[in-house]
Amino acid sequence: MTNNEIVLYNREKDYIPRIAAIHDLCGYGKCSLGVAIPVLSAAGCDVCPVPTGLFSNHTAFPEWHMHDTTEILNDYLNAWKGIDVDIDAIYSGFLGSKEQVDIIRSVYETYPNALKIVDPVMADHGQVYPTYTEELCQAMASLACDADILTPNLTEAAIILGEPIDDEWGGSNIDDEEAHRILNALLDLGAKYVVLKGIQREDGIIRNFVGGKDMEITEASNEFLSYMLHGTGDLYASSLLAAVMVGKDMASAVEFAGNITHDAMIVSSKQPNFQDRGVNFETLLGQVTDLLD
């Protein structure tokens, strides 16, 4: 018997949960920690950033600078052990090197009761991001198998499964049967719950699917907006986790994440040079805070 009201975090009244957010920090172009910190803070969470890299701006620009922080992370995290930091969730996204996967696994060992959320940020629309090597993609794929919640798009799902990235994967135009096959295959690798994002079809609807070992696969959908914005994946995953951390069930969290990402894309489209500056969600943070009611 399946249950579609799966709650992964039971929040005690007045308690502020702590989340280790293991993402890069980008100076210009809203993404990564620039999204995770405000969104999760609006949900009444204490966000503890662990920067995996420092970027001048996002990599969709023709010029950018990245500083890989791998060499500082062990000392950074070991200092937390010395001051008795407690963590309720570990949320990872963009990584700067394959060595950072082992560092994240050490965080899992330090906080074995923490919820593990992996947003395997490495590719989209059939293209791997420019800083990702084959070795880093393989390391990220192995980390995905440890996730309590895994949130890939179709290109990332193909990499994790070791399947070729063909035109169909890149264009995201697959039917329900294929979406279910992919989601179940990811569950078979070890992830407990999978959210397969961004299934685009010609009917003007974008679909996100969620399922787990003890949960029927369900779908949440929104109007498809034809323009691409940098950082929407980060907003989606952060909003989903925000809903989970206030005690919402998985299906409701997926629906909330899709709705706020859709609304933020509309807000963003009204800004100058909006496709360069990234996703704007600032005026929508009240919707996140309302989850606490």
* SS3 call for 139: helix
What is the pLDDT confidence band of residue 1, given thresholds at 50, 70 and 90?
very low
pTM over 0.85: yes
| Confidence at residue 10, expressed as pLDDT on a 0 to 100 scale | 96
Report all structural domains of the chain as residue ranges with CATH numbers, in order of start.
Answer: 18-287 (3.40.1190.20)
DSSP 173: -
CA distance 34 to 40: 11
Maximum Cα interatomic distance, the chain, rounded to a whole number of Å = 55
CA dist list (Å): 46 to 40, 104, 151, 164, 242: 8, 19, 22, 39, 11
Distance set, CA 19 to CA 231, 257, 282 (Å): 20, 18, 20
Percent of the chain with pLDDT over 90: 82
At 174-224, the pLDDT tens digits run 899 999 999 999 999 999 999 999 998 878 899 999 999 889 999 999 999
Q: What is the average pLDDT across 45-65?
A: 94
SS3 at position 12: coil
Cα–Cα distance between 86 and 131 in angstroms, integer?
32
Show the tokens assigned to 165.
């990235």
pLDDT single digits (tens) 64-75:
999 999 999 999
Mean pLDDT lowest for which of 35-39, 138-142, 184-188, 222-226? 222-226
Which of 27-41, 134-148, 200-214 is predicted least confidently?
200-214
Query: Residues 6 or more apart from 185 whose CB is under 8 A from it?
Result: 161
Q: What is the DSSP letter of 11?
A: P
Residue 289 has pLDDT above 60, yes or no: yes
Nearest Cα residue to 30 out of 290, 226, 245, 267: 267
Sign of the CA dihedral with 257 first, then 260, 263, and 269 last: negative
